[in-house]
Structures are given as structure tokens and as C-alpha cells.
Amino acid sequence: MQPRVAMADELPYSCGPPPPPSSSLAAQGQQQQPHRFCDERLTAEQRAADLVANLTLAEKVSQLGDRAAGVARLGVPAYEWWSEGLHGLSIWGRGIRFNGTVRAVTSFPQVILTAAAFDAGLWRRVGEAVGAEARALYNLGQANGLTIWSPNVNIFRDPRWGRGQETPGEDPVTASRYAVAFVTGLQGIGGEASACCKHATAYDLDYWNNVVRYNYDSKVTLQDLEDTYNPPFKSCVAEGKATCIMCGYNSINGVPACASSDLLTKKVRQEWGMNGYVASDCDAVATIRDAHHYTLSPEDTVAVSIKAGMDVNCGNYTQVHAMAAVQKGNLTEKDIDRALVNLFAVRMRLGHFDGDPRSNAVYGHLGAADVCSPAHKSLALEAAQDGIVLLKNDAGALPLQPSAVTSLAVIGPNADNLGALHGNYFGPPCETTTPLQGIKGYLGDRARFLAGCDSPACAVAATNEAAALASSSDHVVLFMGLSQKQEQEGLDKTSLLLPGEQQGLITAVANAARRPVILVLLTGGPVDVTFAKDNPKIGAILWAGYPGQAGGLAIAKVLFGDHNPSGRLPVTWYPEEFTKVPMTDMRMRADPATGYPGRSYRFYQGNTVYNFGYGLSYSKFSRRMFSSFSTSNAGNLSLLAGVTARRAGDDGGGMSSYLVKEIGVERCSRLVFPAVVEVQNHGPMDGKHSVLMYLRWPTTSGGRPARQLIGFRSQHVKVGEKAMVSFEVSPCEHFSWVGEDGERVIDGGAHFLMVGDEELETSFGLWGLSLRNRF
């Protein structure tokens, strides 16, 4: 194979077969000598190194931004590094176009709702669909890039964060499992696309109280960094094999993320083993100097970022200033070469230098029929249905029986609002169904609609008209919540209450209605709806996130009993009083001495509206936990022999603890044991049940969590039947906690596995493990 130049009407690839003598390319004389970078027998890194060695310095510098220039003399096409696929391919980014044969893509629910399904298989399938649609558009000539800067696996630390909707929630284990599943799916077995986990690390503030993300310095303890903020990125790389990490705008303890060699080189590459590239957030290199004032000149800035391990800048700052940085001695050409080998190796693995991608046996067949396919549309509906959380259902207010509904008032600004379906980072959807349309599909003209507010902000409310409609209707469903005007990138919330006149409108409608009303909340982040939770005239509450193109149908199926809700909240819902806590306080652990309440279900010491993991069903499920591992592991005598026991002292009541790194991989693997949960569905409906297993320590001293989710499974169970749900429990992973020094340790003594009200006590020590049930 030889280099080629992609013409305007051709796909952007290189190293195709030699052109016929009569072709324009042959006439240009550009493909007479083959290059080693076209030799598919070599590794991606070897091919990338050869390509880089053939570039001039100016050509190298032109590759350092997200809009990488083509190199015609070598047949290297221009490339767009920035594409987005958070919950479907997106109009944000430059790598994908919707102006050709394909003008719409599958729009899945915003991530926070899909996360509520607690189903890693579902998350992987969504990733697979996004990757397949990206490759299909590339094959159709509608993409100049296959590097998808998704997922966002930052921890949803504070309920006010405008971008929390993009994340899998507040729990590091959930975020880690989501990262692995989505990345594995998106990248595919054949390299359909490249995933990028963002934004490393401890990034979870956009704009709050005049503090902006561009110069925010995250003050983070080593303990919090290692047990909360970093785990999703580690899992993304080490298990998911993501080929990209994005460094964020913020500093971590005084060092900008995109200038931190400790983060980008020592952690991401050396410790976690990433085989790929590091991208900066857009203009995050420029902000190192312009916002953080960490460097004195643009040349210093480019040098410090590239030397730290950043490979490509979203923006053109490095392209503008890298040449001067080399000329002034701040940067060497070798530094640039290292970055470019990382970049081109990823493009090699994506097949951009293997000839026409349509000839590839794995993904060459993908085309227009694979975008918005029936399977993908069905998956969008499944994801929305499985994520919806039933928060309240007094006296069986739900489900409704369509045949028994003579009239239904649909009230609220989010009932027929397309924007409420998508959240942010969305693309043009294949089709859409609003909640109003979904309800009309069941009831037709028996459903009557009134927006009730001028917008989700609800500065103006038609309270009297809404109350009148409610009083004349058999049933009432309110669709309230938030929009991107209250929570989005660049905008954090200042209140957890419903905006404007919403609460007054809801209360007035509930008072006027003939029977308890149903409240459906479309939001990304949590809201304080204590008033509705405690109001007996509000019979049921559903949270439906931003549910994607099929969201209205999914909600209607839940309302009318064609789907049994099984979602669980992936974040704690805090009361409004939590807004007194500075968003800039990054500490996870509570500090009772100062009144600081802590954050997330693991450490928060305060009142909640709804707890992490909460969610009701139309059916009654029971659970029973046991383990087939019932001895003291006598076959592995003295498993911890030679491992130094540390005294936990005041932190742990004098108990011994063991460093996980000293136990080692081999001995850790021998400690793994199975735990099984028997789930029974007592009816009245078939449905899924999400089993969440936690670990509880005997004490919370020293910074131990109150409890920690260690695994979850979503299992469909028919009425009257039982299902056995298995978990593989690894003490080194699941019993350990991170001390103040950032080291992961296991305490000797008792630990408690928890599922609902059931506990399984385990004892860990020199001779291994023993287990017994506690009720």
C-alpha cells in the first residue's frame, strides 16, 4: 500500500492501493515510493514513528491542535480530533456532519438517567450504538474524525453542578463501571471509534458565586483524590482501555491539570497504563497562563503542557506558539515527536492508514441503514424506561388504567417541550416523542394540555387556568422540572428548589384536583421537592431525567403500566439548606467540628430528600443473601503471612490493617469469593429489580465511608418466580479503604456485606476469611 491524497469527494484515509497510471494522483507523482507507515505488518506505534520522522517541524506543529492539517506530499489527510458522543452523536464538535445522506442520529437519554438503570450491559450497548453510528457516518463521508470525546466520568459531587447531568452520578464505583462499559462498547472489538474519558480530575464546578472553571483551583486531599475523584479515570484506562484522557480547565492543588506531569504522565500513562493520547479541554492550554497565571509566556505554556504529557490541544494555541517555543529553547522537537506518535498511533488503530475503510471486514459494511436503525431506536426506549425512578406512589396512585381514565389534564412546561428530552451535547434525533404525545398515544383526545408556565423557569404561571383544568379532569399529571437555562455547561444552580412559580402552581393544582395528582420531574440534577413528597394530595412522583428521543413514550409506558419502573437514584437528593455549603469545598468527608456535613451517601451527615439508590417498583420484591464460601479458607493457610500489619490506632480502635499493595495481585485473587442474592417477585407485575450490594465497616473513624457500593446487577423476574443474582467479591478491592496517606488498606476483623436490610458478616485476618449471615 502507498500514501494517497483524499480528494474532495473521497473519504479521508491514506495508504490506499497505487492509483492507475491515468489518474490525477498518479499525474501528481505523489505516490511513487511506499512508506513504512503504510505497512500494516508493523505495530501502530512503529508506523506512527515512521510517519512522524517524515514530517518537517512546521508540519509537526500543524498537528498539535484539534484541527490537524493535511500533509499532501505524504498523503496524510486533514483530521478533526473533536467529536462528541455523550448520549448519541452530537452537533457539538467539528468531526461529524449532518448535511449528507444521514441527517439524524439516535438520541439516547442524558447519561444521568441511563445511569439510574444500574445496568452495565445496557451502558455497553448504548456505547456500541454510538460507536457504530460514528463509523457509519465516517464510511459515508460525513465525518473527518472518529475520536469521540466522551464519556464524562467526573463525580457528581455537588447537586448544583450544571454538568452533573452528563455524568453517571456521585458514586466512584458506579462511575467506574459506567466508564468501562461505555468505553468498551464505543471502541468496539474492531476499533470502530476512540473514546475519551473527561475531565481529569476533580473537575466539578463551572460557574458558581463568581468562581469560574477556567481558573478554579481544586483543593483536594490525597485521600479524596484516590478514593473518589480518580477511580473512574483509572478504570476507564486500565479496564476499559480508553485511548484518550482529557485534562480539565481546573488546577489540582495549585497545578493546572493540563500542566501536571504527576497526573498526565505518572498517573495516566505510567501507573494506569494508557495506550493513547491526552487531549486538553477546549482552550485549556491557553488558560494555564491567561487564567491560572501559572506560566509567564505562551511559549512556556505550550512547553509545560506538552512536557507534562498533553498531546493535542482543543484549539490552536499550541499550533500558534509551539514553533516559537522550539526556537526559544522551551521545547524540543523530540517533545513534539512524542506527542505526535501518540496521536498518529491512535489514527493508525482506527484504520485511517489502511486504505479504504469500507473494505474493512469488521466495520466496512456500516452505512446509513445502521444509523437510527430499529434496534437503536428500541435501545433508546429501553434506556429511558429502565432509568425512570418512581419516588413516591401512595395508595397505588400508579399505574393508571387507560380504559378507566375518562379525562386527564396534562399540565406543565415540560410536557410538550422538545428541549426537555435531550439535555446538552445532543444531536439531531431520529424522531421524538414528548410526554404529551406519549400520553395522547394512550388516551387521544381524553388528554387535555396546558403548559401552565411561560417556560421551565416559570416566571409567569397560569395558576388559575391550571387549577380550573385540574378540577374538571378525572386525573392530573404535571410535567415540571428544569431546563438548560437552569443547569448546563458554564452554569451551576444557585438553588435546589423548583424555579419560579412551579411549586405554587403544583400545590394549587393538587388542591383543586379531584384525586391525588401525579408529578413527573424532568431534571438533570436533584431538586428539593420535600413539599411534594409530604403532600398527600400528590399521590406519585416520577423522576425521568432528560430522557432522549423516546422519552415521552417511555414515561407514558410507566404511567399506564406497560413498564414496571426499576430505576434507582444515582445521586443523593439534598434539601435546599445544603446550598449553604460552599461549592468550592472539595472535601468528601464530614467535619462535625465545623458543621461541614460531607458529601454523597458515603460521607454525608445530614437530612436528605431522597437517598442514593432509592427507587420504588409497582411490584413487591424480597431479597435473601448468602454465600457458598462458608469456611475460614483453610486451604489457603496464612494468606497474609509476610504482610506487615499496621496498627490503625485511634482511627480504627486499635485494629490491624494491611496494605493492599503488599498483599499483592496473586494473593488478592485467592481471597475472592462469591456472594449470591436470591430475588423473588411477589407481584403483581413482572419487572426488573436492581440489586445494589454495599460494604459497611464497623466504624467510620479515620475517614472510612459509612458504606460503599461494591456491585450492582439488574435482573428481570417474573411474578412468583425467583432469580439468583451472583456477585464476585474481592476483599482487596471491596473491603479496602483509602487512608489519609492515599494508600489503600484492609482492616482486620469484621466487614458487612449489605443488600437492603440483609447483612452478611465477614471476618478478615491472617488466616483468610470467614462468613456468616446476620439479619
Task: Give the pLDDT confidence of 315-344 residue by residue, as tens digits.
Answer: 999 999 999 999 999 999 999 999 999 999
| CA separation for the pair 137, 9 (Å, rounded) | 14
Range 576-593 average pLDDT: 98
Residues of the chain above pLDDT 70, percent: 91
Q: Shortest CA distance to 549 belongs to which of 457, 707, 435, 401? A: 435
pLDDT at 628: 59
Look-up of cell digits 435501545: 379
- Is the pLDDT confidence value at 663 over 80? yes
Which of these, 437, 393, 430, 392, lies nearest to 414 by C-alpha position? 437
The predicted model gives 175-192 an average pLDDT of 95
Is the pLDDT at 774 greater than 90? The verdict is: no
- Please report, rounded to a whole number, the percentage of residues in the chain having pLDDT higher than 90: 88
pLDDT of 12: 78
**Residue 659: exposed, middle, or buried by beta-carbon count in 10 A (0-12, 13-18, 19+)?**
middle
Q: Say which of 119, 204, 206, 281 is annotated catalytic.
A: 281
pLDDT reported for residue 766: 52
Cβ-Cβ contacts under 8 Å for 679 (sequence gap 6 or more): 621, 622, 623, 689, 691, 715, 717, 722, 723, 724, 725
Query: Is the pLDDT assigned to residue 358 strictly greater than 50?
Result: yes
Which residue in the block uniquely carries the three cell numbers 463568581? 210
Contacts of 325-333 with CB under 8 Å at 24 or more apart are 325/298, 325/299, 325/300, 326/57, 328/299, 330/299, 330/300, 330/302, 330/303, 331/299, 331/302, 331/303, 331/306, 331/307, 333/57, 333/60
Res 645: pLDDT: 54
Query: Within 10 A of 628 (CB to CB), how many other CB atoms are there?
Result: 10
Q: What is the mean pLDDT of residues 377-385?
A: 98
User: What's the pLDDT score for residue 633?
Assistant: 45
In whole numbers, what is the pLDDT of the chain averaged over residues?
A: 93
Cis, bond preceding 201 (omega within 30 deg of 0): yes
670-717 pLDDT, tens digit each: 999 999 999 999 999 999 999 999 999 999 999 999 999 999 999 999
**Would you give the DSSP letter of residue 116?**
T
Residue 641: per-residue pLDDT: 55
Amino acid at 51: L
C-alpha cell at 221: 486531599
Q: What is residue 646's predicted lDDT score, i.e. its pLDDT?
A: 59
Partners of 392 in the β-ladder: 541
Q: What is the pLDDT of residue 16?
A: 75
How far is it, in rounded angstroms, from Cα 499 to Cα 321? Answer: 45
Please write the tens of the pLDDT for every residue from 473-486. Answer: 999 999 999 999 99
Record the pTM. 0.95
Q: Which of 58-67, 408-417, 572-581, 650-659 has the lowest mean pLDDT?
A: 650-659
Contact 133, 371 (CB under 8 A): yes
pLDDT band at 163 (very low <50, low <70, confident <90, very high): very high
Banded pLDDT at 384 (limits 50, 70, 90): very high
The number of angstroms, rounded, from the C-alpha of 462 to the middle of its chain's C-alpha atoms is: 37
Please confirm, yes or no, whether 281 is among the known catalytic residues. Answer: yes
- Please check the confidence at residue 637 and state whether its pLDDT lies above 50: no
